[in-house]
Structure 1
């Protein structure tokens, strides 16, 4: 198994670096470096997406036939790593990485022709309607009803933890179209417009004091059946397909950036704390192990193999390492960690930070990333998968 980059890969890496250096504006770089979540606000992510789209690089995993670059697994990993190291704003995964591949796999020719170009250009900004109050990780227990009425479904119920619903003009949504048989058998996958009458969005403010997630209410919302992806009552199959993209790996570059930030915070702090230096060293070892594991999975994918339960392992290790690095950063700041400075974090702000500038995002990231071991399939669920598929329990 060859885990090193070839000469062609190194040349591609240099091409990507040169492009980012020439096109990533100082404002966009600053916005990316000061992200406090895995999601970047569209006022920064969409301009960067437009720049990438002009080069044909907005959707690294898309095949050429749908407007993607047709890159190999290795090229995609190189591109993601270079974007992370440069501090580029993250693009919303809802359209490009999640519903886009679903439309390619299950959509009609008409749906592909309409939606895919709009996803690439950023004209459509998507949110995900999966979780509901009371259902948690048990997605099959969802209760948002969709009653058939001629050429439409009529929706009543709600979704929760809906990231960026306040910005989105479209949602991909799981609804219950039948209560017969197993819960999984009565679910349907729909696409809908957020300005449809009967939809209302209620903000949920996070521990970090930020408006990232929402609860979305549906009161007699009419959605055309032409917006259904796949067959009625077969949405569970579509949903599982989408989750394969949501739970992808590739966390090592971002973890390295976070670790470097934690190290700079430690250097800026006064004193020499041996215990803190030890925690940094242990985190470095963990990130290095994740990096090597991701390289092994990448090599397997490049060889046409399925990573299998390795994706669950990387999800666990990646999110827990992220949380460990956040804790180290907060501890390194001491009393400065508790200072709330949202205005100073803005990309165009001229407000000076209280304490080390590197610490501006430490506490918000710590608070926001507590959810990382829950979303995308909780780490407890991932351990169950490993227990079944690897240990045979």
Structure 2
């Protein structure tokens, strides 16, 4: 199937199916808004799966379409264009699924990929800790092999949608006394068990999509370690590379829609006549085009040259700046909440303060570029 035919097919399908029953879901969900119509968006995700529109890039033998990178980009662009609701299965489909395909055993793939594909199992990511945010190598959550089970103790934080997840992929230290990258393992852990407690974190937006997760002698089966025990760093880095894949192109379509809406506000309230505001809007448009060009030029790369880190820095800083620009365009009314409720621009501003932190903070991304790509001296570490 040609790319043009593929684009037309997904566009027509979305136009036909984002109507009537699912029409009210348009534009709902996403960062800072995951609480919106969650059950209905889950139903939509399962509807997508039944129609064969999930896991597009996966090999056919694992339930995917083996879609090319170009076609995956097209899907995400058209999905964003149609204002389809934010997916609730992103972590399983875009992060864990490709990780299991690349690093998992046949038994792990057979057990978990079908539940990701049909959205019957929801996943969360157990990486960050209170003392190890973006510095993943500093994690202290431990796991000890006890017979046919790993026994896990520790705490994770900023765990998106943990309160709704069935499973978590968790980075834990499985070799006592190990430091940094050595001795880490990548474990698949059931969330619904007595040893797992989840506590929501209230964000600036008033919502709680992030959570603290406590493991108190939680257990998972001994064979649910992805890759070799003690070699989890490699697997974890693989997951992070998948996180910054083709879906970023769809994300940028959403960014463009936000910028267009801000420009409309500027025209209506007259702030577009201010030369300073007009220049900032122009720079935002240029920045968005630069982001797209860079993303397209680096798709399919290995990430060895720091492309993933550069991409994260580009979109995180741009989007945070967009939130600030929205406040400037709206002006004084942006300082007031209406009946205690935030409007879309206030929510955008507040949530984008976190863009430069989650998914790998700016500081860590710059360290990666300076040390691994440019060969500069490493930052002193304990």
The two structures have a TM-score, normalised by structure 2, of 0.89
1:268 Cα deviation after fit = 3.0
Question: For residue 295 of structure 1, what is the aligned residue in structure 2?
Answer: 296
- Comparing 206-215 and 26-35, the one that deviates more: 26-35
Q: Secondary structure at the match of 2:363?
A: helix
Do 1:255 and 1:321's aligned partners in 2 also have CA atoms closer than 8 Å? no
- Comparing 212-221 and 307-316, the one that deviates more: 307-316
Do 2:127 and 2:136's aligned partners in 1 also have CA atoms closer than 8 Å? yes
Q: Secondary structure at the match of 1:158?
A: strand
1:279 aligns to 2:267 (yes or no):
no
Q: Out of 62, 67, 79, which is 2:63 matched to?
A: 67
1:29 Cα deviation after fit = 5.4
Distance 1:182 1:344, change over 3 A: closer
Do 2:95 and 2:239's aligned partners in 1 also have CA atoms closer than 8 Å? yes
Do 2:32 and 2:209's aligned partners in 1 also have CA atoms closer than 8 Å? no
Do 2:32 and 2:205's aligned partners in 1 also have CA atoms closer than 8 Å? no
Q: Out of 310, 322, 327, which is 1:325 matched to?
A: 322
1:32 Cα deviation after fit = 4.5
Q: Secondary structure at the match of 1:205?
A: coil
Q: Structure 2 matches for 1:33-52, cutoff 5 A?
A: 33-35=27-29, 37=31, 40-41=34-35, 42-52=38-48
1:179 Cα deviation after fit = 2.5
Do 1:24 and 1:48's aligned partners in 2 also have CA atoms closer than 8 Å? no
Q: Structure 2 matches for 1:142-181, cutoff 5 A?
A: 142-181=139-178
Q: What is the rounded CA distance, in whole Å, between the counterparts of 1:342 and 1:160 in structure 2?
A: 31
1:204 Cα deviation after fit = 0.4
Q: Out of 83, 89, 99, which is 1:87 matched to?
A: 83
Q: What is the rounded CA distance, in whole Å, between the counterparts of 1:369 and 1:196 in structure 2?
A: 34
Unaligned runs of 5+ in 1: 1-6, 346-359
Q: What is the rounded CA distance, in whole Å, between the counterparts of 1:75 and 1:237 in structure 2?
A: 28
Q: Out of 337, 343, 355, which is 2:334 matched to?
A: 337
Distance 1:31 1:205, change over 3 A: farther
Q: What is the rounded CA distance, in whole Å, between the counterparts of 1:39 and 1:73 in structure 2?
A: 28
1:17 aligns to 2:41 (yes or no):
no
1:339 Cα deviation after fit = 4.3
Q: Structure 2 matches for 1:128-207, cutoff 5 A?
A: 128-207=125-204
Q: Structure 2 matches for 1:100-115, cutoff 5 A?
A: 100-115=97-112
1:38 Cα deviation after fit = 6.8
Tell me how large the CA RMSD over aligned residues is: 2.4
1:278 Cα deviation after fit = 1.7
Q: Out of 311, 330, 344, which is 1:361 matched to?
A: 344
1:182 Cα deviation after fit = 3.5
Q: Secondary structure at the match of 2:108?
A: helix
Equivalent residues, number: 368
Q: Per-residue CA shift, 1:330-369, capped at 9, x if unaligned?
A: 2222233244469989xxxxxxxxxxxxxx3211122112
Question: For residue 261 of structure 2, what is the aligned residue in structure 1?
Answer: 261
Q: What is the rounded CA distance, in whole Å, between the counterparts of 2:165 and 2:368 in structure 1?
A: 33
Question: For residue 379 of structure 2, what is the aligned residue in structure 1?
Answer: none
Q: Secondary structure at the match of 2:162?
A: coil
Q: What is the rounded CA distance, in whole Å, between the counterparts of 1:388 and 1:106 in structure 2?
A: 26
Q: What is the rounded CA distance, in whole Å, between the counterparts of 2:310 and 2:339 in structure 1?
A: 34
Q: Per-residue CA shift, 1:100-119, capped at 9, x if unaligned?
A: 11111222222211210101
1:163 Cα deviation after fit = 0.7
Question: For residue 386 of structure 1, what is the aligned residue in structure 2?
Answer: 369
1:236 Cα deviation after fit = 1.4
Q: Structure 2 matches for 1:214-293, cutoff 5 A?
A: 214-248=211-245, 249-250=248-249, 251-270=251-270, 272-293=273-294
Q: Structure 2 matches for 1:295-314, cutoff 5 A?
A: 295-298=296-299, 301=300, 306=302, 308-314=305-311
Q: What is the rounded CA distance, in whole Å, between the counterparts of 1:68 and 1:62 in structure 2?
A: 4
